[in-house]
Amino acid sequence: MSLAGKTAIVTGAASGIGLAAAQRLAKDGANVAIWDINEDAAKAAADDLVKQGFKAIASRVDVSKRVEIDAAVKLIHEKFGPVSILVNNAGISAFTPFMQITEEQWDRIMQVNLKSVLICTQAVLPDMLEAKWGRIINVSSSSAQTGAQTMVHYSASKGGVIAFTKSLAQELAPTGITVNNVPPGFVDTPMMRAGLGEKVDHIIAASPMKRAGRPEDMAGAIAFLASEDAGYITGHTLSVNGGRYSN
């Protein structure tokens, strides 16, 4: 699945699923822009790819702020040219009983998890429309498919990502641009470990496959949806969850 000549943005790509996706897309031939709010980690990830002979750059980006997104896109244009693949992966999670969710918590999760998908996509869509080719892959969550206790705000934001995907896919279907989403199950990442702590082992034991997902499992699905092989797939939810949820 060669992506030679394509340029990809992966948000939240300094660790976890985003990092694995950036590494996979680079290995498939794409120029990769690593965006993350953790600038040092983003630069380290890009430097590692460059040392391996791939083309990568890093930018510190708060994906809830349009001005930072626009500046990072300008840098990509200068270094690599037009953007052809966007992986909207950046996100935050929280575990809060419903009656304890504050408006500030709700707004921040919606800004990072859902608003960012809007403004990142708007920033690169002109490139894709001009090329008559593009791939937009949104990382949602199986929590939006099943529901999750103490995660109403998080699940609602990721449910919005799924609805965003379906709606934009229909709007862009005639243009050569596909829009799909991948909801992870329990993927062994620093964010999951930080959020679930000692519950992780119990959740893994209760899962159908008896193992957590790996970031590479998600990266494989993302790379497929970014490829020419997935050109007739749009508006799709490709669940990668080890059997946690079937649709």
* CB 9, CB 83: distance < 8 Å: yes
Catalytic member of 35, 54, 80, 154: 154
Alpha helices in the chain (DSSP H): 16-27, 39-51, 66-79, 103-110, 116-131, 142-146, 152-172, 190-196, 199-206, 215-226
154 is catalytic: yes
Cβ atoms of residues 36 and 9 within 8 Å: no
In DSSP terms, which residues pair with 187 in a beta bridge? 213
How much helix, strand and coil, in percent to the nearest 5, is found in the chain? Answer: 55, 15, 30
Q: Sign of the CA dihedral 200, 196, 150, 243?
A: negative
Q: How far apart are CA 134 and CA 108, in angstroms?
A: 29
Of 183, 217, 36, nearest in space to 116 by CA: 36
Phi, psi of 175 (to 5 degrees): -95, -10
Q: Which residues are catalytic?
A: 154
